[in-house]
C-alpha cells in the first residue's frame, strides 16, 4: 500500500518551533493543525470557510489562490519559513500554476524557507467523477521553482485510501521538497 503520509511527516520534521508558515489549499486544516502543534504561526488559505475553532497563532483566509498571493497577503508581509501546498494545484489552471503561482512563492520565502508540494502526474484509478484538470511532471514543477534548491523530488504510484478514507484508489503523485537559499 502507498504510504501517503510519509512525505508530509518528513516535511513537518523540517518545521522549526515558533516559525511562520503558509498552507495553500488547507482543506479541513489537518496539516495546518499539525504544523501549529509545533508552535508555528500558520496562515491557512482555502476557498472553503474556516473550521469552527483554530489553534492560537493560526489564521484562516478564505480566498481563491488564483487571484494571486498579493490579493490576500499584506504588501509588507515579512514572509514565511515554510510553505505547504498539498493536493491543490491539480485543481487549478496548469499554466497559472507554472507561470504565476509557483514563481510568486519566492517573493514570500525567508532565507531557508522550506516548501512541500504534492500533486498528481496522472489521474487516479478509479478516477474522480470530475477528472482533475491539471497534471504535472516533476521536472516542469522544478523549472517553475527557480531560485529554490530542490532537496527531494519524486514521482510515485500505488494504492491508497482517499482523503476521507472511504475509497481505495491507485494514485500517481508528484512530490517535491525545496529549500530557499539563505
Ligand X SMILES: C[S@@+](CC[C@H](N)C(=O)[O-])C[C@H]1O[C@@H](n2cnc3c(N)ncnc32)[C@H](O)[C@@H]1O
**What is the C-alpha separation between 32 and 26, in angstroms, rounded?**
7
- Minimum separation from the CB atom of position 98 to ligand X (A): 15
Provide the minimum distance between the beta carbon of 24 and ligand X in the complex, in angstroms, as a whole number: 7
In this complex, which beta carbon is closest to ligand X, that of residue 19 or of residue 119? 119
**Binding residues vs ligand X (CB under 6 A):** 25-27, 30-31, 46-48, 64-66, 86-88, 91-92, 163
Q: CB-wise, 5 or 57, nearer to ligand X?
A: 5
- C-alpha to C-alpha distance for 120 and 132, rounded to whole angstroms: 9
Nearer to ligand X, 55 or 91 (CB): 91
User: Nearer Cβ to ligand X, position 158 or 181?
Assistant: 158
Using alpha carbons only, how large is the chain's radius of gyration in Å?
16
Residue 81: beta bridge partners?
A: none
Q: Are 61 and 103 in contact (CB under 8 A)?
A: no
Please, what is the minimum distance in Å from the beta carbon of residue 44 to ligand X? Answer: 9
Please report how close the Cβ of residue 181 comes to ligand X at its closest, in angstroms.
26
User: Which string of b and e fits 22-53 if b means at least 16 CB within 10 Å?
Assistant: bbbbbbebebbbbbbebebbbbbbbeeeebee
Report which residue's Cβ sits closest to ligand X: 27
Amino acid at each position: 500500500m502507498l504510504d501517503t503520509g510519509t512525505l508530509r511527516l518528513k516535511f513537518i520534521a523540517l518545521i522549526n518551533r515558533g516559525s511562520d508558515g503558509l498552507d495553500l489549499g488547507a482543506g479541513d486544516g489537518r496539516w495546518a493543525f499539525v504544523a501549529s502543534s509545533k508552535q508555528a504561526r500558520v496562515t491557512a488559505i482555502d476557498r472553503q470557510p474556516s473550521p469552527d475553532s483554530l489553534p492560537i497563532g493560526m489564521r484562516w483566509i478564505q480566498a481563491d489562490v488564483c487571484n494571486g498571493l498579493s490579493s490576500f497577503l499584506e504588501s509588507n508581509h515579512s514572509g514565511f519559513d515554510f510553505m505547504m501546498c498539498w493536493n491543490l494545484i491539480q485543481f487549478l489552471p496548469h499554466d497559472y500554476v507554472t507561470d504565476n503561482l509557483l514563481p510568486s512563492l519566492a517573493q514570500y520565502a525567508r532565507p531557508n524557507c522550506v516548501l512541500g508540494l504534492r500533486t498528481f502526474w496522472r489521474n487516479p484509478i478509479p478516477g474522480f467523477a470530475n477528472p482533475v484538470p491539471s497534471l504535472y511532471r516533476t521536472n516542469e514543477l522544478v523549472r517553475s521553482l527557480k531560485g529554490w534548491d530542490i532537496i527531494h523530488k519524486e514521482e510515485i504510484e500505488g494504492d491508497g485510501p482517499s482523503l476521507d478514507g472511504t475509497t481505495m484508489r491507485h494514485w500517481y503523485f508528484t512530490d517535491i521538497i525545496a529549500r530557499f537559499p539563505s
